Amino acid sequence: MTIPRKGITATRKESWKIQFILEHHSSMSRKDIAERLRETPRWVKRQIHTLIEEGKISQRRKKPDTVLSKKDWTPARVSYVRHLRQDKLLTYEEIAPLFQDKFGITASGTAIGWWARKYGVRDYGKKEWLADNYPKGKMKELLESGMTLTEMSRHIEELKGLYFSADLILEHIQRLGLESQKNRGIRLAREKVAEVEKVWLDDKIKSHASLKDISNEIGVSTTLLARRMKKDGLTAVLHRKVWSQNLEKLRNILLLSPLIKVTPSDEDYHQMVLGWLAGDGSLSTTGRFVVAHSLKQLHYLYVKYQVLREHVTSVMTNASDHYAQKGRILGGGEQMAFSCSGMHDYVQYLNEDGSKNFHKIFEEMQDLGWACYFMDDGSFFGGTRLISMRKALVDEMQNKYRFSCMHEKSRALTLQDGAIDPSYVLPAFSSKIQADTAVGSYWRKYFPELFDIVFENDLSLSFVDEVMCEADSTLLTRAVDYYHGRGFPTFEISDVYLEREYDLLKRLDTKYLWKEEHVIRYNAVGNGIFKHFMPHMSEAKYRQTSPVKTFEGHETLRSILSYTLRRKQPILPDYVHDSLVHFGGGVTGFSCSLAKAIVSKYTKPGDVVVDPCAGWGGRLLGTVSASRRYVGFEPWKKTSDALVRISDFIKADANVCPQEFSSEGAPSDCSLVFTSPPYMDLEEYGYEMSREGWHALMCEIFTYAEKALHSGGFLILNLPPHLRDLLPDTPLHEEKAIYWFSSPRRRSLKKAEIAFVWRESS
């Protein structure tokens, strides 16, 4: 709406506007009239007052004459309003309809309030009501009777019919200078905590007693105890560190020991997986199966891990701060999970949207499967066995698959008697079925150790120390024997994950890898592909030793396993493989993502990239993923054959020549010569190369680059700095080198990998 200018209203007094006001003043508000006339409400008000003075319209009364009259306010009416306002704490707007019903007088709450105040009715609130009705003496009696604030609130509501919150009552108590039961308890607890000697508390903490135990001994809450410890510099951090260390030890000891392979029959294995899939297990469409449980269920986690261990790729722990602060080593908040790959056979039990197909799962489940499902989702409540399920599934499964009636509130189904065979339930779950399953249990034949050891919810440090993973630990001896019997832990992943890894590499936007113009960020996408196809990488030596040589030695393998555990990693094959490679004399391949970043920057799509020393395949993968043509040379037959397999798997536009590099066999022209020559005295591969042979290879590479590179083409060599001075002279123009880090933790360029760059400038 356009707001007209203020003032000079007479100039806007048009006859049609006045007529509109006369016709609609009784049915429309001033605001609505103003909008219709495109005037201000104030202007409309002036015109209405003028018309009233002229007698053209009559004034509407807001208040009935009866309310405005003093004679209508009799003592009975005043007393009635006082009762409602001061005893019932009603507002005047709430009193108005009651006043009309009782006396037949229509009045607004504002009018009644004006007259009520005139006759001495107090404007009462809940605070004033409490002050009048519950003075100090009366409130003290309630406190001495042991009533809590909530109980006082209920007492007043039952007695007076008025609700007062606990906070409002507490505020009233504090105004009276009294102390509530809760505050009194807190004050006394603080006094108790303050009286505790620091030396005594320090000794308790050093003895690894939990905060819960210490607080129970003092008789205070763990919160107050933690505050006192923080004040004295004896915070729970020390105990949390111990707790955290214990958790890591338990993950490695209890889940990875004993290192024996559990092999249930194929049908039993199938039933177990079906039951766990129906329960807490999570399965993706790519065949990754994830199992997670509270550490209170260590027995069950132990069983699941041992059954699925052939597929386990990682073990994770999630510590709850809430439980850690209370000093517990094991509790409901600490979760452990392990991820299993290669479970593609069970993808058929998923719907198209990735959800579980319970109909198909239940049709194949037998007694063992139902027991596993029950141990995941079952419970025993009030003498009734239940399995919790989603509401939609409950509606579908009612009266089917051994289920009987439905419990709406808990969204659970009640199991019929005999639905679960007790012998298939672990002893730790005996409370769920009210039966002792330790005798004659199905699981005894696979896990006899579970029937000889008792896991407690609060493990003491001394228990963990007995099986601690130190150099003289029997666990490491068993682990060494296990791996020597198993063989070298080669790196292997399924075809599905190989395809997924290559897809990630193709979609990788390398411009984000360039931290600066000549510094690349660390990235490992795609490296799993050549590690999978190059198991013989472990035979190559770095500084006269190799992962295979380290693995074959009893003490050296023991050191690697001990180091793996000290890094808080489980001694699973993948982790042991990485430790052997990085700390047992292994060589690492050129990162695929780094190769893609370099190729993408120095060439265009469709250009030819020549790699005189193809190596492990990182540059092949990086080049073809960037849509460039790749030509590589590799004399070691094992490696060249593996490069061909990589090329065939990813359907690459690549040519791998199983020979030493020769300019005669290379393309006559190219845009980039990009390689990482042998490190000569640092690394040893499946063939010998003398210093003279290395120098001849470098001369051949530079000669080829000088002839074959397009104008503006590049030669890039990844070399250690000490080999840079051994390179032949060249007319190519040297550009600024490229740096990258083999570890994300490194920051100094002095520890960076280097690629030297030359440019053809003719």
The pair of structure tokens assigned to 751 is 């520890």
Q: How far is CA 115 from the centre of its chain?
A: 64
**248 and 214, same structural domain?**
no
- CATH number of the domain that residue 752 is part of: 3.40.50.150
In a domain, 527, yes or no: no
pLDDT tens for each residue of 370-422:
888 888 877 655 455 566 655 555 555 554 545 544 444 445 555 655 567 77
Higher-confidence position of 2 and 77: 77
**575 and 604, same structural domain?**
no
Determine contact, residues 443/536, Cβ cutoff 8 Å.
Answer: no
pLDDT for res 454 = 43
Higher-confidence position of 189 and 136: 136
CA distances, 46 to each of 32, 53, 103, 535, 546 (Å): 15, 11, 38, 96, 101
**701 and 612, same structural domain?**
yes
pLDDT above 50 for 7: no
pLDDT above 70 for 43: yes
Q: Which of 2-11, 124-133, 646-655 has the highest mean pLDDT?
A: 646-655
Higher-confidence position of 491 and 283: 283
DSSP state of 285: T
In a domain, 508, yes or no: no
**214 and 315, same structural domain?**
no
Q: How confident is the model at residue 663 (pLDDT cuts 50, 70, 90)?
A: confident
In a domain, 525, yes or no: no
Percent of the residues in the chain that have a pLDDT greater than 90, as a whole number: 10
The CA distance from 430 to 696, in Å, is 75
**696 and 573, same structural domain?**
no
453: CB partners within 8 A, 6+ apart? none
In a domain, 3, yes or no: no
The CA distance from 234 to 239, in Å, is 9
pLDDT tens for each residue of 523-533:
888 888 998 89
In a domain, 444, yes or no: yes
pLDDT for res 329 = 37
| Least confident segment among 75-89, 105-119, 200-214 | 200-214
The CA distance from 628 to 602, in Å, is 11
**147 and 28, same structural domain?**
no
Spell out the long-range contacts of 414-418 with Cβ–Cβ below 8 A and sequence spacing 24 or more: 414/384, 414/385, 414/386, 415/374, 415/378, 415/385, 415/386, 415/387
The pair of structure tokens assigned to 99 is 């006043």
pLDDT above 80 for 15: yes
β partners of residue 316: 337
Percent of the residues in the chain that have a pLDDT greater than 70, as a whole number: 73
The pair of structure tokens assigned to 79 is 């007393």
**740 and 698, same structural domain?**
yes
Overall average pLDDT of the 127-140 stretch:
86
pLDDT tens for each residue of 246-275:
455 555 554 454 445 567 788 889 999 999
**406 three-class SS:** strand
β partners of residue 289: 283, 340
Determine contact, residues 376/327, Cβ cutoff 8 Å.
Answer: no
The CA distance from 262 to 566, in Å, is 26
DSSP state of 350: B
**108 and 202, same structural domain?**
no
Rg of the chain in Å (alpha carbons) = 41
**723 and 618, same structural domain?**
yes
The CA distance from 717 to 27, in Å, is 91
In a domain, 412, yes or no: yes
Indicate the number of domains in the chain: 7
**483 and 383, same structural domain?**
no
The CA distance from 741 to 739, in Å, is 7
Q: Residue 70: which domain range?
A: 65-124
In a domain, 80, yes or no: yes
- Phi, psi at residue 526, to the nearest 5°? 95, -15
In a domain, 517, yes or no: no
**447 and 366, same structural domain?**
yes
**255 and 229, same structural domain?**
no
